Chains A and B, each alone.
Chain A
Amino acid sequence: MILEIENLNLNFNNENKVVHALKSINLTLKKGQTIGIAGESGCGKTLTSLALMNLLPNNASYSADKLHFNDKDLLKISKQERHSICGIDISMIFQDPMASLNPALTIKTQIEELLIRKEKLSKDEIKVKIIELLTLVGITSPEKRLNSYPYELSGGMCQRVMIAMAISCNPKVLIADEPTTGLDVTIQAQILALLKSLQQKLNLSIIFISHDLSVLSNFCDEIYVMYAGTIVEKNKAKELINHPIHPYTKGLLACIPNKNSGIDLPSIPGIVPDLGENLIGCRFMNRCPYKKDSCIEFSSVQQTSNSKYFNCDLSEAELKVNKWI
């Protein structure tokens, strides 16, 4: 187990109200494993990773029963120690490559930033190392690219530079936050192939965040589905796609257009609840076609096997019927 998160709660304390943005998140990552986090915008996918990276704004507060990296408790270590883990041992690729690179600095300056901080190398050694990194992420003629600015590169190239930055200090865990959103499918396939090959070469464990279940299903070993700040279902990737259990997962999959053109697509009615209100019971209840009276009291986590759990009051048998038509 390289990463263990147990019962992570995160609140935003605004002036007049408290927003419960994450509620009892449990997540484990084994060495060399790839897990995917799926969900719609605003469900807390990115927030989970930001909490892990300690990159939260001032008004956020979080607590967890367990937040372990390599058996080290991230909540108990000193600030400096945490600082030396986040960004180096756990590194992150951000969503929009064009927007997350500094437009005023050359890519060399941006990549060497981390190298200077972590490894005490001379200028020439750093240059060699950067060229090595750029070759590793598949940028052609890296010597020429060293002094380019982000605007001179395409979206796919920028994402490769971001990946080079993320792996520059040999991280153990790589968090990829929607790394292919906004890229064309052909480039998306290239980036996914690159991440896979890097994973093998560097023995990385990857947390892959995406709203696109079809990308996740092809890339990940296990998938967590999030809804309104909670994890509603976790399962092995293929099983989750083929046999979804939770009503929300079922709905999400039903919404994706497939072969049966001409027939109206099902859609999930209603909107995501306001997390600033005091939410009791199941957070999906108001949009759920399976809703029953007891949903208002609580939603229970049902662990059905080692790699699989779902967060619903109904039993697996009750959820078998397909109500998304």
Chain B
Amino acid sequence: MDIVKLQNLTKVFKIKEGFFHPAKDLYALNKLNLKILKNKTLGIVGESGCGKTTLANILMGLEKATSGEVKIFGQSIELQTSEQKINTQIIFQDPHSSLNPRKKIWKIIAEPLFIHTKLSNDECKIKVAEALDQVGLNPNMMDRYPHMFSGGQKQRIGIARAIILNPKILICDEPVSALDVSVQSQILNLLNNLKKELDLTLVFISHDLSVVKYFCDEVVVMYLGEIVEHSKTKELFNSPRHPYTKALLDSSPDLYDLDHQFEVINGEIPSPLDRPTGCNFITRCKFKTNKCSISPPQTNKEKLSYSCHHPLNL
């Protein structure tokens, strides 16, 4: 069952460059179609600036889509009641800056309870203790301030805040990118266990391919605000269809393949204000032909979805 459904989702930001210049349109997300299945982990990868976080913000209701539809549990996101909004929660990227340094952690974790429920402080504290226990922290620590915790512990606090309302969908925006590997593995294990215990559906945004490979059931690769490939993790890593996916895989170092030769793709992601005509990836693609510069590729929607005129590994 798909619990999140995006249809032709587009997000445009207006960029002003001064009084006498007309505002430019920045397409942060361009006609996204995506279904997220229940109890699965969907990974979203892509370079910085490709729209990963904008997508997360839209799913959270923090940004409004310019056009297109976002449905969560069949309900359009704009018409959600506050009870339905509880169902989606988010874990932020940097645990050091996403906790208010002036609040005790029980207040930070109980913040969603203050907003969405009418529990008294004591009742909140009981719930906070439960949540702390679930994320592997000692409930006695709830009167401490964020600075008294290490990075990994802070991320656990962020997770406790996200799960305290028993959400159904948890959006993880680069939850481990600021952590050391030994701590990263603890947080990944924790998320895996919580997913089973609480019956969660995870949206896992990351730029670390080895983590995505380990953690996700399905992966979406984004480039310049568009989905260029979407398939099962195994298939994506074993036989990437889109040249950009292949480039990503080729340029990430692999511990288990030390003789791996880096294949460097040239250039950088173009500015979304100044998109190339035709295929978005044309400026960096090795396989481009005339066809690519004339028309943008349509998304192929058979078993796997990818948008390329010259798919690989077919």
Which residues of A are interface residues toward B (Cβ below 8 A)? Answer: 40-41, 154-157, 184-190, 192-193, 211-215, 217-218, 237-238, 241-242, 251-253, 255-261, 264-268, 271
Q: Add 15 more A-B contacts to A184-B47, A187-B268, A256-B181 (CB < 8 A).
A: A40-B181, A184-B207, A185-B251, A188-B252, A211-B181, A213-B181, A213-B255, A214-B253, A214-B255, A241-B258, A253-B255, A257-B185, A265-B188, A265-B189, A267-B182
Which residues of chain B come closer than 8 Å to A211, judged between CB atoms? 180-181
Closest to A185 in B: B252
Contacting pair A217 B258 (CB below 8 A): yes
Bound CA–CA A252/B184 (angstroms): 11
The 8 closest A-B pairs by CB, nearest first: A257-B214, A189-B251, A265-B185, A40-B180, A268-B182, A255-B185, A184-B47, A214-B253
Whether B180 contacts A218 by the Cβ 8 Å rule is: no
- A246 to B185, alpha carbons, bound, how many Å? 19
A259 contact from B150, B213, B250, Cβ within 8 A: B213
B251 is contacted by which of A188, A253, A260, A271 (Cβ under 8 Å)?
A: A188
Q: Find out whether the CB atom of B48 lies under 8 angstroms from the CB atom of A218.
A: no
CB of B145 within 8 A of chain A? no
* Chain A residues with CB below 8 A from B262, complex form: 189, 192-193, 218
Given contacts A193-B264, A257-B214, contact A264 B181 (CB under 8 A): no
The interface bits of chain B over 167-194 (1 if a CB of A lies within 8 angstroms of the residue's CB, else 0) are 0000000000000111111101100100
Contact of A261 among B182, B214, B256 (CB under 8 A): B214
Binary CB contact string for chain B from 202 to 227 against chain A (1 if under 8 A, 0 otherwise): 00000101110111000000000000
B213 touches which one: A193, A218, A257, A264 (CB < 8 A)? A257
A184's nearest neighbour on chain B, judged by CB, is: B47
Q: Is the CB of A218 within 8 A of B253?
A: yes
- B182 neighbours in A (Cβ, 8 Å): 40, 251-252, 255, 267-268
Interface bin, chain B: 35 or more
Q: Which residue of A lies closest to B251 (CB)?
A: A189
| A27 to B192 Cα, complex, angstroms | 40
Q: What distance in Å separates the Cβ of B181 from its nearest Cβ neighbour in chain A?
A: 5
Given A186-B247, A257-B210, check contact A218 B260 (CB 8 Å). yes
Residues of chain B within 8 A (CB-CB) of A193 are 262, 264
A–B pairs, 19, beta carbons within 8 Å: A40-B182, A156-B268, A157-B268, A185-B252, A186-B264, A189-B252, A190-B251, A213-B255, A214-B253, A214-B254, A217-B258, A218-B253, A218-B260, A241-B255, A259-B214, A259-B256, A265-B185, A266-B185, A267-B182
Task: List the B side residues contacting A256 at CB < 8 Å.
Answer: 181, 185, 210, 255
Chain A residue at smallest Cβ distance from B178: A41
**In this assembly, does B15 line the interface, its C-beta being within 8 Å of a C-beta of chain A?**
no
For A154, the chain B residues whose CB sits under 8 A away are: 268
- Is the beta-carbon distance between A217 and B264 smaller than 8 angstroms? no
Q: Is the CB of A264 within 8 A of B258?
A: no
Q: What separation, in Å, do the CA atoms of A188 and B250 have in the docked complex?
A: 11
Nearest Cβ in chain B — how far from A152, in angstroms? 11
Once the chains are docked, how many angstroms separate the CA of A84 from the CA of B235? 55
Instruction: Say if the beta carbon of B58 comes within 8 Å of chain A.
Output: no
A212 to B184: give the CA distance in the assembly, Å.
12
Structural contact, A218 and B258, CB atoms closer than 8 A: yes
Q: Complex formed: what's the CA distance from A204 to B207 in Å?
A: 31
